[in-house]
Structure 1
Amino acid sequence: MEELSGGRASSIYREGEVVYRPLQPWSPTIHQILQHLEQSGVNEIPRFIGVSKNREALSFVEGDTYNYPLVGAIVSHEALVSAGKLLRKIHDSTVSLLNEIDVNNQQWMLEPREPFEVICHGDFTPYNVALSDNTVVGVFDFDTAHPAPRVWDLAYSVYCWAPFKTDSNDKLGTLSEQISRARVFCDSYGATQCQREQLAEVMIQRLGALVSFMRREAEEGNVTFAENIEQGHLQAYLNDIEYIHENSKQMQCLRLKQSI
């Protein structure tokens, strides 16, 4: 077996076209989501194969993968457009599932947030997608999926794809260039005027929720999150919150242009 890098829990392995991952308390919920998406014609996701002992088996998502710093195909216009369209496709396909399940009777890694418009991916980022040439053709790692408003997922995705980041390894381009990339993502998703107007504020709220989650997990003995905090990841999010707050007025140009 080949051990794959990344992931929140270690011990993720690939054998041929199958990926084996440790089971989590929320795994049955994620399996239900993946099966629903597959049945809805969303083919750009891992297919749930089954469970063996303490591991889940998922199909391997083919394609080129990337991480920060963002260079190459992942920063192309085509990648932004295809990413925005795929996030919209996933969101739209989960609406019917929300009508079938009781959110409060399901286990989630991240806390559901009302109003429940869609099931968010929760971490739709450049490091969780696969590309063919310059086009995003797949997305994986659905562990963070949870019900929430569309803009909750859209805001975090735009934050990561623009990216509105301050860390020397993660940031890319000027503020103007970041806003331009964010606009492409929003246009491709089909973001409404209302969603665009909320974007900066929701980014701050979403990052604040992430910071709280990391602190809580570390306090409860989660070694991975404790190490992440020690390595400065939490502080980086706090810095990004300040960066977005300081530039929120400039980000208002993400709004739809009014027709004359």
Structure 2
Amino acid sequence: MEELQGGREGQIFRSENRVYRPRGKWSETVQYLLSYIAKNGFHAAPKPFGFDGKGNEVLSFVDGEVFNYPLKGNIATEEALTSAASLLRSYHDVSSSFLSQHSSDTLEWMLPVREPIEVICHGDYAPYNVSLHGSKVVGIIDFDTAHPAPRVWDVAYALYCWAPFKTHKYDAMGDLTSQSLRAKQFCDAYGLPEIERQSIVQAMIDRVQALVDHMRSEARNGNQAFISNINDGHHLAYLADIEYLQSNGRYITEALMGKKCL
């Protein structure tokens, strides 16, 4: 088997066109979700193949090139940005009817359900969770963090990751002006209404704070990965990003509304 690179070293493997990932409490729900969106015409996500006898979830391999921060090359292009936004919109539209079809099932999610429920959010729609052919985003991977929530909850985190509104020297790209332009291009390609653009900076702040709260909660519950993250100060970068968004919220909002010459 070939080990795949990602956030869980030594735990995700590929054998031919199958991917084997550690099973979580939410994995059965994710399998339902992936099966549902495939049956309804969305083919840019892994296909589910159940579970093996070794505690692994089995999925199809999504072909394409995968990137991570810092954003360089094809992943940093406008085509990657806008195609990512369009693909997220397509996924959201298909996922919006999932719960009505599974209302009688017991569904468990990694992250809390958030009202009002409009779609099944991916939960971590970042550059490292898509695949590219050339500069076009053609696939979405790692649905572990999927959960029911408003569309804007997912779009907010995507904007934060794709602009990116990040301050750490490894993750940062460009300046506030270029970041705000990329955020507007993402919103335009997604088709985000003006009314939601007015409040999306606060949604980004709330979403990143929810991530920090999740990290701290998991660490308190004995999750070794999150204990290491907290000890290494990973959460401090997110807190710095929250301050950055708070300080520049008015500028970003005006840019998203087309009130800034970018």
Normalised to the residue count of structure 1, the TM-score between the two structures is 0.96
Correspondences of 1:44-193 after superposition (within 5 Å)? 44-53=44-53, 54-102=55-103, 105-193=106-194
Q: How many residues align?
A: 258
Secondary structure, counterpart of 1:243 in structure 2: helix
Provide the alpha-carbon RMSD of the alignment: 1.5
SS at 1:136's partner residue? Answer: strand
Give 5+ residue unaligned stretches, structure 1: none
Quote the Cα distance in structure 1 between the aligned partners of 2:236 and 2:88: 28
Contact 1:9–1:22 (CA under 8 A) maintained in structure 2: no
Stretch of structure 1 that moved more, 6-15 or 111-120:
6-15
Work out the CA distance in 1 between the residues paired with 2:18 and 2:105: 31
Q: Does 1:236 align with 2:237?
A: yes
Q: Secondary structure at the residue paired with 1:108?
A: coil
Match of 1:130, as an amino acid? S
1:104–1:150: structure 2 CA closer, same or farther, 3 Å change rule? Answer: farther
The runs of 5 or more residues in structure 2 that have no matched partner are none
- Counterpart of 1:27 in structure 2 is 27
Higher alpha-carbon deviation: 98-107 or 189-198: 98-107
What letter is aligned with 2:58?
Answer: A
Q: Secondary structure at the match of 1:20?
A: strand
SS at match of 2:132: strand
Give distance in 2, aligned partners of 1:10 and 1:106. 28
Instruction: Go from structure 1 to structure 2 and tell me whether the alpha carbon gap of 1:230 and 1:83 turns closer, same or farther (over 3 Å shift).
Output: same
3-state secondary structure, aligned to 1:249? helix
Counting aligned pairs with the same residue, the percent is: 48
Q: Is the 8 A contact 1:103 1:147 kept in 2?
A: no
Native 8 Å contact 1:65 1:131 kept in 2: yes
Tell me, in whole angstroms, the C-alpha distance in 1 between the residues paired with 2:218 and 2:103. 25
Structure 1 counterpart of 2:200:
199
CA 1:96–1:29 in 2, change beyond 3 Å: closer, same or farther? same
For residues 74-119 of structure 1, what are the alpha-carbon distances to aligned partners after superposition, in whole Å with 9 as ceiling and x for unaligned? 0101101100000000000011112223499411101110000000
Q: Secondary structure at the match of 2:108?
A: coil
| TM value normalised by structure 2 | 0.95
C-alpha distance in structure 1 between counterparts of 2:129 and 2:87, whole Å: 12
Q: Distance in 2 between matches of 1:103 and 1:193?
A: 36
